[in-house]
A = this chain, B = another copy of it.
C-alpha cells in the first residue's frame, strides 16, 4: 500500500495526519449506514474541529471528490497491471481488471455513494484521473478488439459506463442483487455477437 497522494508542497506532519484522519472518518461514516453524516460528525470522529475539515477541503463535495480521486488512482493501477500482464488473453486481461476494480468498489460504500451522487462538482476533483482511466481503458479495449474478442461496437468509454452500472447495484444483497453475477452478465454481453 504505497502513498496515494503526491502533494506539491509537503504539509506539516500534524496537518498531513489530520488530513488522513478526516478522510478515514468520512469513509467509515459515509460508508456504514449514515449516508448523510454531517461534517461535524466527520470532524468529531476524526478528532479535529470542523474548521480543520474546511481547511483541508473547501466544501463537502471536495471531501467526497477526494474519495473519488483516490478510488480512481486505484482503478488505474489495476488497469495498468492488466496492460503489463503479457500472459493473459486481451479480453481476460480487461475482464480481470474490471473484476478486481468492482470487488474493491464493493467494499467501499462511501466512495460508491460519492461516485453515484453524479454531482459534477464531485467529479471535477478527479478529472485528471478520469482521463488517465480512459487512456488505459483505450489500450485494453484496443487490444481486445484486435484479437477479435470484443463486440465490435464496444468503445473505451463503455468501460466506465458498465462499471458505473454494476456499482449502482452493489450493497443490495437483501433484494437478491448479486453484483458478481451482474458483472459476469455484462462481461458476457461484451463478447463478440458472432
Contact = CB atoms under 8 A, between A and B. Distances in A.
A175 B158 CA distance: 10
A177 interface: yes
Interface in A103-120: 113, 116, 118-119
Nearest to A155: B176
A182 interface: yes
Copies, count: 2
Interface string A134-174: 00000000000000000101110110111011111101100
A16 interface: no
A189 interface: yes
A2 to B, nearest CB: 29
A58 B63 CA distance: 31
Contact of A166 (B154, B165, B172, B177): B165
